[in-house]
Amino acid sequence: MDDQTLLVRRLVAGGGGLLILILLVVGVNGCLNGRTERALKDYTRNVASVMNTSQTDVAEPFFSLLNTGADNPTDLQAQVRQLALAAQQGAKQAGGLSVPDQMQRAQGALMLVLNLRATALTKIADEIPNAQAKARSQATAVEQALKRIAGQMRAFDASDVVYSQRVRPYITDALKAKGVSGQALPAGQFLPTISWLSVNTIAGVLNAQRAAGGTGANAAPAPGLHGHGILSVAVGTQVLNPSPAVNRIAATGTVTFNVKVANQGDNDESDVVVKVTVKAGAKKPIVGTKTIQQTKAKSEVTAAVTLPGAAPVGDSAIITVQVLGVPGEKNLDNNIMKFTALFGS
């Protein structure tokens, strides 16, 4: 074989090898690109599934529960806690996703979204019994619980913002950079409307007893007159005469004051507190209270108030009897009566 023929054969062989190498590189790149595309699509579908579950299995049942206005705080709390567990499970599922490098930013934002929701549901469940307490003496605590629940609603709103302004754009940008199209993501909104950020909205669905005297969404007392007056005070069958008259009261055991109270307003009132204070000289006052669960408008009721300690036998004492004001009551002049007494055995 001459030198020229040998050279030609070598060039042909080299070109063939180069062609094979190029084909191998193109094939490997194609496989890698295909694998990356599948990973991006799989991740996007998984995120869509997680967000759909968050909306249909957690958000919608939660707000439906609140809208029904459950009267039993224990039952409502248990149901919300179940939804909180479902939200926590959704966050755990998302944390176990296979995440392509291009989706790391989206994954971090997604976990923030789901954890905000799970944490808020847990805290709301904790506050429900406080928010639905019916005793007027607990009205201030009720108001604080309502504010905390409304505050957690802001966490739902924040999760919606993070999802719409971070998770979805990060995923969309990563797909676009790799030329992947046709992947849909749900709206993923948890909070139905911003009206749920209002304390009055929360109070309305929970039928809460408000600190100002109203119930539900209306924090103010009902229209019309509110208030009580003391008609008389008796110990046993002995009706006491107001000061400066001196009342001699037998005190062989515990002393109970029968306080007749009239609801002089246009509204029924709840948790009406009647208070009796006995003060003798420099001795520590003895205070007894009785809470009347409800008084009817334009009607009378008697509260039996028993002193928690022995009466000060042998000493002159001042007895102050008071029915505490109710929300909306403006005139307190007839809410108090004072008596001078000598307790004897």
- 17 versus 38: the higher-pLDDT residue is 38
CA torsion sign, 135 to 136 to 141 to 144?
Answer: positive
Can you name the residues that pair with 238 across neighbouring β-strands?
235
Question: Is 80 exceeded by the pLDDT of residue 87?
Answer: yes
Query: Domains plus CATH for the chain?
Result: 3-206 (no CATH), 228-344 (2.60.40.10)
Per-residue model confidence as pLDDT tens digits over 315-329: 899 999 999 998 889
Give yes or no for a contact between 83 and 138, defined as CB atoms under 8 angstroms apart.
Answer: no
- pLDDT given for residue 182 in this prediction: 76
Question: Which residue is associated with the tokens 């102050």?
Answer: 320
Exposed / middle / buried, residue 79 (Cβ in 10 Å: 0-12, 13-18, 19+)? middle
Task: Tell me how far apart the alpha carbons of residues 39 and 37 are, in angstroms, rounded to a whole number.
Answer: 5
Per-residue model confidence as pLDDT tens digits over 266-302: 999 988 999 999 999 888 999 999 999 899 999 999 9
CA neighbor of 255 nearest in space, from 229, 233, 224: 233
State both tokens at 135. Answer: 């005793």
Question: Which residue is associated with the tokens 């037998």?
Answer: 250
Compute CA distances 277 → 239, 274, 285, whole Å. Answer: 17, 10, 6
CA neighbor of 209 nearest in space, from 269, 285, 287: 269
Task: Tell me how far apart the alpha carbons of residues 235 and 200 are, in angstroms, rounded to a whole number.
Answer: 45
State both tokens at 235. Answer: 């110990």
Per-residue model confidence as pLDDT tens digits over 223-259: 999 999 999 999 999 999 999 999 999 987 789 999 9
Task: Tell me how far apart the alpha carbons of residues 219 and 201 are, in angstroms, rounded to a whole number.
Answer: 11
CA torsion sign, 253 to 254 to 258 to 259?
Answer: positive
Cis check for the bond before 192: say yes or no (omega within 30 of 0). Answer: no
State both tokens at 76. Answer: 């409502």
Tell me the CB-side half-sphere exposure of residue 313, using CA atoms within 13 A: 10
Give yes or no for a contact between 264 and 296, defined as CB atoms under 8 angstroms apart.
Answer: no
Secondary structure (DSSP) of 139-208: HHHHHHHHHHHHHHHHHHHHHHHHIIIIIHHHHHHHHHHTT------------S-GGGG-HHHHHHHHT-
Amino acid letter, residue 19: L
**H helices of the chain, where?**
3-53, 60-68, 73-95, 104-131, 139-162, 168-177, 199-206
Per-residue model confidence as pLDDT tens digits over 126-141: 999 999 998 877 888 9
Give yes or no for a contact between 116 and 162, defined as CB atoms under 8 angstroms apart.
Answer: yes
**Predicted TM-score of the model (pTM):** 0.72
Give yes or no for a contact between 229 and 180, defined as CB atoms under 8 angstroms apart.
Answer: no
Per-residue model confidence as pLDDT tens digits over 46-59: 999 999 999 999 99
Task: Tell me how far apart the alpha carbons of residues 221 and 200 are, in angstroms, rounded to a whole number.
Answer: 14
Measured at the CA of 334, the angle between CA 333 and CA 337, to 5 degrees, comes to 105
